[in-house]
């Protein structure tokens, strides 16, 4: 087996909660709690979950904008957990944000925006950089006169193309895409996804794809993790999870996807409705974090938190699958 | 109900009829012809969908129906909006306000659509007190707020409505401020507010779009059940074909201010005709793992919209006639139910 590009082990991020006049620390929000996964070079990993499930926090830790509280991140064989000021590393891990309108500086022309990463990482010089910018613009489907425009002169899809160009121009190994298309129309979204796929095979990029749109993740990811309140509830190959979801939360999420054809409807698991809303991350429910909304909860669910177990190629945190006969979770990557 | 020869619904059951509505905007850069000859019909108790990408004029059309379009800069060039036979555009502003009670609006963004300085209860009570009284006036409002009996009645009614929208502890919600509620809860409060107005029609502008799938699902179920129970018509504005498929009886697909295809929901998805609708359907990512290509190009510039069919610069089936004439919205002869398309591909005379 080829060496994994990214290996995340027990990654945890806690945000302190302050209260009172002297801003005393009264508690903490465990935004991400013990996340494990691996990602091979040139592959895509999808992180799905509702808002507040910690998927963006996890992405930001990998990108190096948040310092993890615990756990480790191994990137290309090197432990980079605390290397958030490592510039050479940042060249290799880039990020694309959700809202292209606010991710680009409105006062700078597109070429200035695209030249920045080259200057920061000392790629090429003068003319060579300008040539690279033009090449990259054409690669993402924009003609070269776009380099003299300002972001407000571009449509949403074009802005996102620029944002992608900015991320890919330094030839990174890993790109973190935080809801890259949720601000765009479906027809534009399809074009952007097409572009991302082309770039992936051309530059051998690995993607961490953060989204709440399950149908989209199905089309782009090799592996996915379903997150709920900071925990990865189910983790495995995309096909395995979509064909045969195990965790009640994944089943429920899949069953309510709005579909556009009967063929798709047949594909979905039997309808399972969730009641209520995501619990507060400050006062986490005891036991399994999902038990307050789970239609299949039973005796141990509100007392003991399930440990991850392997079951049919899925890694699950659910008491339905933690019978004693099942093996304990193998460490990821072995 | 359906008249095959004429190809349209008979008027007996029609609540709202928008006929060839054109709306333009006067700006410094010239005149933008945003909505061009849009015709929409809504029967009583029916849920229709206005589907299209951003900038296709669906919200402008809805605002014209509601009468909240700022004029100027907007200008309604031609067309009629008939509510149960009365032309709303011909009314004086005062008469128009009388008609306002027939409509309720569910806004898109639950986060910014409630007043942050009043409790939810206060806001709901105001809806009840002002309901059906367009000329209530501030003085009379202040007097009525001091009449305990009237206010208590309104609180009771709000309380009951909150229960109907599946809010379990209504008392607590009534006395809380919007910032204390989650997005899903706020959306529910907005739905309750819309229903409290006792409208004959609700215009819902992408409710649930900013919410998570599981919450969105709950909200859609709620709207559907409330609407069928209270026999209210709904105009559901959305860009998500999947959502429209779940909730609407008929769907109007809009592109650049024109209606390009109309059909009952199941026919629209089973036999899609217009190239734009096809492109839109293809672009939607599918759970089966198939993802088609998007539609090349952008929505046209409204200052100089394309001649003829507005979709022709992006259309894969473009013909010579497409950039000369505008295709009329015509019933497909081979279909038994209502299915109208505005495309020369399906017209025999060409």
Confidence of residue B5 (pLDDT cuts 50, 70, 90): very low
Tell whether B261 is covered by a domain.
Answer: yes
d(CA B261, CA A146): 35
Same domain, B20 and B73: yes
Burial label for B326, CB within 10 Å (0-12, 13-18, 19+), is: middle
d(CA A209, CA A191): 16
Tell whether B184 is covered by a domain.
Answer: no
d(CA A188, CA B55): 13
pLDDT of residue A293: 85
CATH code: domain A6-321 is 3.40.50.300
d(CA A206, CA A168): 11
pLDDT of residue B198: 85
**pLDDT, tens digit, for every residue of B218-228?**
888 888 888 88
**3-class secondary-structure state, position B29:** coil
* Interface contacts (A, B; CB < 8 Å): 118
Residues A216, B285: C-beta atoms closer than 8 Å: yes
d(CA B214, CA A254): 9
| Nearest one of A156, A152, A146 to A181, comparing CA atoms | A156
**3-class secondary-structure state, position A145:** helix
- Average per-residue pLDDT for chain B: 83
**Which run of H or of E encompasses A191?**
helix A186-203
pLDDT of residue A160: 92
Same domain, B43 and B100: yes
Tell whether B153 is covered by a domain.
Answer: yes
By Cβ distance, the residue of B54, B218, B283 closest to A190 is B283
Residues B245, A213: C-beta atoms closer than 8 Å: no
Closest Cα in chain B, distance from residue A137 (Å): 17
pLDDT at B2 over 80: no
Same domain, B255 and B335: yes
**pLDDT, tens digit, for every residue of B299-328?**
888 888 888 888 888 888 888 888 888 888
Same domain, B28 and B152: no
Query: Measuring CA to CA, how many Å separate B256 from each of B24, B51, B78?
Result: 12, 11, 17
Same domain, B148 and B259: no
pLDDT at B53 over 70: yes
By Cβ distance, the residue of B215, B286, B294 closest to A215 is B286
The answer for A141, left when phi > 0, alpha when psi is -120 to 50, beta otherwise, is left
**pLDDT, tens digit, for every residue of B244-298?**
888 888 999 998 888 889 988 888 888 888 889 888 888 888 888 777 787 887 7
Same domain, B18 and B78: yes
Residues A252, B214: C-beta atoms closer than 8 Å: yes
User: What DSSP string describes B110-176?
Assistant: TTTSS-TTS-HHHHHHHHHHHTT-TT--HHHHHHHHH-HHHHHHHHHHHHHHHHHTT-S-HHHHHTS
Distance of CA A107 to the CA centre of its chain: 29
Residues A260, B284: C-beta atoms closer than 8 Å: yes
Same domain, B108 and B241: yes
Same domain, B125 and B89: no
By Cβ distance, the residue of B243, B293, B298 closest to A190 is B293
**pLDDT, tens digit, for every residue of B110-166?**
778 888 999 998 899 888 888 877 677 788 778 777 778 888 888 888 888 888 887
Cα torsion through A279, A284, A290, A295, rounded to 10: -70
Structural domains in chain B (count): 2
pLDDT of residue A108: 92
Residues A191, B296: C-beta atoms closer than 8 Å: yes
d(CA B218, CA B167): 12
Same domain, B151 and B56: no
Same domain, B85 and B137: no
pLDDT of residue A206: 92
Residue A315's CB: how many other CB atoms inside 10 A?
Answer: 21
pLDDT of residue B350: 52
E strands, A147-245, in order:
174-178, 206-211, 223-228, 231-237
Residues A194, B294: C-beta atoms closer than 8 Å: yes
pLDDT of residue B150: 82
**pLDDT, tens digit, for every residue of B197-220?**
888 889 988 887 777 788 888 888
Range of the domain at B54: 2-114+199-346
Q: What is the pTM of this model?
A: 0.83
d(CA A14, CA A36): 16
Same domain, B235 and B267: yes
pLDDT of residue A235: 92
Q: Which residues of B touch A256 (CB under 8 A)?
A: 213-214, 216-217
Kindly report the length of chain B. Answer: 350
Confidence of residue B12 (pLDDT cuts 50, 70, 90): low
CATH classification of the domain holding B274? 3.40.50.300
Q: Which among B214, B241, B270, B295 is the top mutation candidate for probing chain A, defined by the most A β-carbons within 10 Å of its own β-carbon?
A: B214
Contact residues of A toward B, CB < 8 A: 50-51, 155, 157, 185-194, 212-216, 218-219, 239, 242, 252-254, 256-264, 267-268, 273-274, 277-278
d(CA B275, CA B293): 13
Q: Which residues of B touch A183 (CB under 8 A)?
A: none
Q: Which residues of A touch B266 (CB under 8 A)?
A: none
Taking chain A (334 residues) in consecutive chunks of 10 residues, what is each chunk's mean pLDDT? 81 87 83 89 90 86 88 88 80 88 90 91 87 91 88 89 92 91 84 90 92 87 90 90 88 85 80 79 84 83 83 83 53 40
Tell whether B183 is covered by a domain.
Answer: no
d(CA B53, CA A157): 13
Q: Does B282 touch chain A (CB under 8 A)?
A: yes
Same domain, B284 and B342: yes
d(CA B147, CA B152): 9
Spatial contact of B239 and B231, defined as CB atoms under 8 Å apart: no
Query: Measuring CA to CA, how many Å separate B59 from each of A82, A97, A108, A127?
Result: 48, 27, 32, 47
Q: Which residues of B touch A272 (CB under 8 A)?
A: none
pLDDT of residue B7: 42
Confidence of residue B9 (pLDDT cuts 50, 70, 90): very low
Can you tell me the ipTM of this complex?
0.78
């Amino acid at each position: 087996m080829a060496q994994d590009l990214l290996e995340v082990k027990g990654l945890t991020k806690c945000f302190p909660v302050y209260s009172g006049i002297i801003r005393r620390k009264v508690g903490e929000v465990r935004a991400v709690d013990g996340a494990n996964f691996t990602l091979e070079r040139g592959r895509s990993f999808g992180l799905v979950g509702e808002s507040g499930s910690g998927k963006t926090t996890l992405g930001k830790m990998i990108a190096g904008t948040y310092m993890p509280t615990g756990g480790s991140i191994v990137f290309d064989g090197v432990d980079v957990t605390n290397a958030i000021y490592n510039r050479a590393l940042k060249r290799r891990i880039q990020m694309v944000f959700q809202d292209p309108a606010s991710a680009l500086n409105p006062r700078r022309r597109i070429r200035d925006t695209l030249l920045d990463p080259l200057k920061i990482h000392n790629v090429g010089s003068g003319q060579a950089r300008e040539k690279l910018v033009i090449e990259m613009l054409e690669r993402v489907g924009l003609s070269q006169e776009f380099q003299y425009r300002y972001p407000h002169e571009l449509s949403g899809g074009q802005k996102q193309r620029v944002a992608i160009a900015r991320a890919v121009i330094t030839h990174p190994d890993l790109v973190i895409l935080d809801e890259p298309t949720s601000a765009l129309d479906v027809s534009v979204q399809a074009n952007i996804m097409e572009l991302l796929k082309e770039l992936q095979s051309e530059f051998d990029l690995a993607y961490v794809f953060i989204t709440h749109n399950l149908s989209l993740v199905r089309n782009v990811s090799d592996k996915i993790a379903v997150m709920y309140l900071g925990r990865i509830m189910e983790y495995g190959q995309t096909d395995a999870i979509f064909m045969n979801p195990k965790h009640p939360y994944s089943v429920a999420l899949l069953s309510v996807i709005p579909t556009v054809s009967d063929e798709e409807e047949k594909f979905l698991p039997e309808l399972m409705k969730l009641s209520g809303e995501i619990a507060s991350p400050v006062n986490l429910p005891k036991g399994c974090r999902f038990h307050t909304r789970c239609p299949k909860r039973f005796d141990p669910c509100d007392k003991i938190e399930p440990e991850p177990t392997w079951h049919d190629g899925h890694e699950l945190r659910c008491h339905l699958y933690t019978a004693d006969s099942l093996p304990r979770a193998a460490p990821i990557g072995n | 109900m359906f008249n095959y020869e004429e190809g349209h619904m008979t008027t007996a059951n029609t609540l709202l009829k928008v006929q060839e509505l054109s709306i333009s905007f006067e700006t410094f850069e010239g005149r933008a012809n945003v909505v061009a000859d849009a015709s929409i019909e809504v029967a009583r108790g029916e849920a229709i969908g206005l589907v299209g990408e951003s900038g296709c004029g669906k919200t402008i059309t809805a605002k014209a129906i509601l009468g909240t379009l700022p004029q100027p800069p907007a200008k309604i060039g031609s067309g009629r909006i008939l509510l149960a036979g009365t032309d709303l555009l011909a009314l004086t502003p005062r008469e128009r306000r009388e008609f306002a009670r027939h409509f309720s609006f569910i806004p898109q963004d639950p986060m910014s659509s409630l007043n942050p300085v009043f409790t939810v209860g206060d806001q709901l009570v105001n809806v009840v007190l002002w309901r059906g009284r367009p000329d209530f006036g501030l003085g009379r409002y202040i007097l009525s707020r001091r009449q305990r009996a009237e206010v208590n009645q309104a609180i009771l009614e709000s309380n009951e409505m909150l229960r109907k929208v599946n809010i379990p502890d209504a008392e607590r919600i009534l006395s809380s401020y919007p910032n204390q509620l989650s997005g899903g809860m706020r959306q529910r409060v907005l739905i309750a507010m819309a229903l409290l107005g006792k409208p004959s029609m609700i215009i819902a502008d992408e409710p649930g779009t900013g919410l998570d799938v599981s919450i969105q699902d709950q909200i859609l179920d709620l709207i559907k059940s409330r609407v069928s129970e209270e026999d209210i018509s709904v105009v559901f504005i959305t860009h998500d074909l999947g959502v429209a498929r779940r909730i609407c009886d008929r769907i109007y697909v809009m592109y650049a201010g024109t209606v390009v295809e109309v059909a009952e929901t199941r026919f629209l998805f089973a036999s899609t005709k217009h190239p734009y609708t096809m492109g839109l359907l293809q672009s939607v990512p599918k759970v089966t793992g198939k993802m088609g290509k998007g539609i090349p190009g952008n929505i046209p510039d409204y200052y100089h919209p394309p001649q003829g069919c507005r979709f022709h610069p992006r259309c894969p089936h473009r013909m010579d006639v497409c950039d000369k004439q505008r295709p009329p919205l015509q019933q497909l002869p081979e279909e038994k139910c209502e299915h109208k398309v505005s495309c020369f591909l399906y017209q025999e005379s060409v």
